[in-house]
C-alpha cells in the first residue's frame, strides 16, 4: 500500500536518509527543510502522512503541527513527530498539538513502516468518507457543517485482566470520559458492539490474547471501525508492530502515564466522532437519493431498481409480483382552488394512508406528481385487487383535514392493477398494464380500481 509522504527536517542528511528508506518501499516522498515551507507544501500537495522533525530553528515541529491541525485543508493529515527527544513532556506536548505518534531518532525502520502502514489505512478510510461527503454537498443532499467534535465525554471500554491497572486507567479517564471495565472476552465483544467510542485492550494480558481480541474486533462488521488503543510493553517491539499491522489505531507504552493516556484517548475519541459524522452524512445522503422529500416514501429511482430485480426473479420461475399504479383524482383542482401548500398536505396525508394499508414487504413509492405505485412481492393479481380496493375505500371513506383543520376535502383515487405473467414479462410492461388500468378507471368516472391482466 503506497502513500505520499512529506518529510520535514532542517538537516538535509536526515531528509535524504528517510527519503531513501521510504522510496525503497515505493512510497512517494517530498520534503521541506523548515516549518513555513512545510505548511505551504502540505496545503498544496495534501500528502497522506507528514514525518515532522521537532527540533527545527524558527518554527519548531510542535508549532508546525498545531498550525496544520488548525487549517481545515490539512487537519486530517496524520502527523508523526520525529525527534531525538524522548521525554514525557515532549510526547505529551506533541500529542496535544495533534500528532498521531512519535518516532525517536535513530529511527527504527520496522516501527517506521508499521506506523506508516497503519496511518495510511486510516487516512484512506477518512479520505473516502470526506470525498463522498463533498459529493453530497455539491449535489445538495448534505447541508451545513459539522458541529464541534471534541474528544471528551467518550464511552471507553477497558479490556484487561489486570484489575489494578484497569482500575487505575478507569480512574484517570473518569475525569473526562465514561469508562467501563470488562475482564471477560465474550462479554467485552458484546459490549464493543454497543455505543462505544474507544476500546483500550491490554495487549500483554496473561489471561487472554489481547491481539487476537483486537483482530476479532477488526474482522467483525459491527466493530470494524471502532478505535483500539493497545497497552504494550515498550521493549516488546514485535508485539507493538503486530498490533499496528492487525489494525490497532494506537499503542500506549507501559508504565502508563496519565497525561499521555488522556491525550491519546482524546485523539481517538475525536477521530471516532469525526468519522461517525462523515458516515452518518453519507448514510443520510444515500437515503435522500432514494427518498421523496415531501412524502417520505421511496422515490421512482429506488422503485425501478427493486422492481427490476423482483420481475427478473418472477420470470425465472420465482414468486409473482403485482403492481398498483395510483392517481389522485382531480388533483389539479385542489392545487388551483386551495393552493400548492394544501396540495402538498393532501400528498402527505395520502402517503400516510397508503403506507398504513399495505404489508411490510410491499413497497409504496411516489412515482411522480400525484401518481404513486405499490410494488407487491409474492402477490397474485386477485390479492392485489383486494388490497387496492382497501386503499381506495380508506382514502374516499373519510375527508382529508387540511389548512390547519379549517378545510375538509373529499379525495378519491383511480387505481390500475397488474401482475407478472411469467417468462418474457418486463418491469416496463407490468407498469404499462397498470397505467392502462388507471386510464380506464378515470374514463369510467374515477374513484375505481381496474385490473389489467396480460
**CATH number where 97 lies:** 3.40.50.2300
Catalytic residue among 221, 370, 407, 440: 370
Residue ending a domain, among 247, 282, 317, is 282
Q: What is the reported pLDDT for 120?
A: 87
Please report whether residue 275 resides in a domain.
yes
Please report whether residue 157 resides in a domain.
yes
My answer on whether 313 and 371 are in the same domain is yes
Please report whether residue 112 resides in a domain.
no
My answer on whether 278 and 308 are in the same domain is no
Q: What is the reported pLDDT for 190?
A: 92
What is the rounded CA–CA span in Å between residue 35 and residue 37? 5
Contact yes or no for 95/221 (Cβ under 8 A): no
My answer on whether 314 and 431 are in the same domain is yes
Long-range CB contact pairs, 65-73, < 8 A, 24+:
65/94, 65/97, 65/98, 65/99, 66/97, 66/98, 67/35, 67/39, 68/39, 68/42, 68/98, 69/97, 69/98, 71/39, 71/43, 73/43, 73/46
Please report whether residue 221 resides in a domain.
yes
Contact yes or no for 90/83 (Cβ under 8 A): yes
> What is the share, in percent, of the chain residues with pLDDT greater than 90?
66
My answer on whether 330 and 433 are in the same domain is yes
My answer on whether 164 and 263 are in the same domain is yes
My answer on whether 308 and 273 are in the same domain is no
Q: What is the reported pLDDT for 147?
A: 46
What is the count of structural domains for the chain? Answer: 3
pLDDT digits (tens, 9 = 90+) for 122-174: 888 777 767 766 665 554 545 544 444 667 889 999 999 999 999 999 999 99
Please report whether residue 115 resides in a domain.
no
**Strand pairing report for 101-104 and 79-83:** parallel
My answer on whether 313 and 401 are in the same domain is yes
My answer on whether 334 and 192 are in the same domain is no
Please report whether residue 383 resides in a domain.
yes
My answer on whether 356 and 422 are in the same domain is yes
My answer on whether 307 and 441 are in the same domain is yes
- What is the CATH classification number for the domain harbouring 320? 3.30.70.270
**Strand pairing report for 413-419 and 448-451:** parallel
pLDDT grade for 297, boundaries at 50, 70 and 90: very high
My answer on whether 255 and 311 are in the same domain is no
Q: How far is CA 187 from the centre of its chain?
A: 26
Determine whether 25 is an active site residue: no
**Structural domain of residue 374, as residue ranges?**
300-452
Residue ending a domain, among 107, 132, 162, is 107
Long-range CB contact pairs, 169-174, < 8 A, 24+:
169/200, 169/231, 169/256, 169/261, 172/256, 172/258, 172/261, 172/262, 173/261, 173/262, 173/265
Q: What is the reported pLDDT for 105?
A: 83
pLDDT grade for 53, boundaries at 50, 70 and 90: very high
Joined grid coordinates for residue 355: 403506507
Q: Which carries the bigger pLDDT value, residue 295 or residue 143?
A: 295
Please report whether residue 138 resides in a domain.
no
My answer on whether 408 and 306 are in the same domain is yes
Please report whether residue 292 resides in a domain.
no
pLDDT digits (tens, 9 = 90+) for 246-283: 999 999 989 999 999 999 999 899 888 888 877 776 66
Residue ending a domain, among 253, 282, 311, is 282
Amino acid at each position: 500500500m503506497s502513500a505520499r509522504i512529506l518529510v520535514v527536517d532542517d538537516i538535509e542528511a536526515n531528509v535524504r536518509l528517510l527519503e531513501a528508506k521510504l522510496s525503497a518501499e515505493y512510497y512517494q516522498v517530498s520534503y521541506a527543510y523548515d516549518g513555513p515551507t512545510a505548511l505551504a507544501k502540505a496545503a498544496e500537495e495534501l500528502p497522506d502522512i507528514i514525518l515532522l522533525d521537532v527540533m527545527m530553528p524558527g518554527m519548531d515541529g510542535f508549532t508546525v503541527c498545531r498550525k496544520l491541525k488548525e487549517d481545515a485543508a490539512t487537519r486530517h493529515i496524520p502527523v508523526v513527530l520525529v525527534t531525538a527527544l524522548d521525554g514525557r513532556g515532549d510526547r505529551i506536548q506533541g500529542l496535544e498539538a495533534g500528532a498521531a505518534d512519535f518516532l525517536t531518532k535513530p529511527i527504527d525502520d520496522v516501527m517506521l513502516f508499521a506506523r506508516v502502514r497503519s496511518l495510511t489505512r486510516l487516512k484512506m478510510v477518512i479520505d473516502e468518507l470526506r470525498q463522498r461527503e463533498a459529493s453530497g454537498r455539491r449535489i445538495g443532499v448534505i447541508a451545513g457543517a459539522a458541529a464541534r467534535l471534541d474528544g471528551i465525554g467518550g464511552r471507553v471500554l477497558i479490556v484487561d485482566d489486570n484489575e489494578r491497572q484497569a482500575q487505575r486507567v478507569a480512574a484517570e479517564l473518569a475525569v473526562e470520559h465514561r469508562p467501563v471495565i470488562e475482564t471477560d472476552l465474550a462479554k467485552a465483544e458484546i459490549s464493543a458492539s454497543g455505543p462505544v467510542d474507544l476500546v483500550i485492550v491490554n495487549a500483554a494480558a496473561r489471561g487472554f490474547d489481547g491481539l487476537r481480541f483486537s483482530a476479532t474486533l477488526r474482522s467483525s462488521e459491527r466493530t470494524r471501525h471502532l478505535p483500539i488503543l493497545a497497552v504494550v510493553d515498550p521493549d516488546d517491539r514485535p508485539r507493538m508492530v503486530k498490533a499496528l499491522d492487525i489494525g490497532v489505531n494506537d499503542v500506549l507504552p507501559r508504565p502508563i502515564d496519565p497525561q499521555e493516556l488522556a491525550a491519546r484517548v482524546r485523539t481517538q475519541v475525536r477521530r471516532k466522532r469525526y468519522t461517525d459524522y462523515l458516515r452518518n452524512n453519507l448514510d443520510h445522503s444515500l437515503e435522500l437519493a432514494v427518498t421523496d422529500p415531501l412524502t417520505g416514501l421511496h422515490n421512482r429511482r429506488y422503485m425501478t431498481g427493486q422492481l427490476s430485480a423482483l420481475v427478473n426473479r418472477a420470470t425465472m420461475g420465482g414468486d409473482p409480483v403485482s403492481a398498483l399504479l395510483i392517481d389522485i383524482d382531480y388533483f389539479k383542482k385542489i392545487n388551483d382552488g386551495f393552493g400548492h401548500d394544501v396540495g402538498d398536505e393532501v400528498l402527505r396525508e395520502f402517503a400516510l394512508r397508503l403506507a398504513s394499508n399495505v404489508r411490510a414487504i410491499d413497497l409504496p413509492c411516489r412515482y411522480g406528481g400525484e401518481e404513486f405505485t405499490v410494488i407487491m412481492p409474492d402477490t397474485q393479481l386477485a390479492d392485489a385487487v383486494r388490497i387496492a380496493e382497501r386503499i381506495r375505500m380508506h382514502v374516499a371513506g373519510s375527508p382529508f383535514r387540511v389548512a390547519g383543520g379549517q378545510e375538509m376535502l373529499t379525495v378519491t383515487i383511480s387505481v390500475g392493477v397488474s401482475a407478472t405473467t411469467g417468462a418474457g414479462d418486463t418491469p416496463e410492461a407490468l407498469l404499462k398494464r397498470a397505467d392502462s388500468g388507471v386510464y380506464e378507471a378515470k374514463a369510467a368516472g374515477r374513484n375505481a380500481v381496474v385490473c389489467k391482466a396480460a
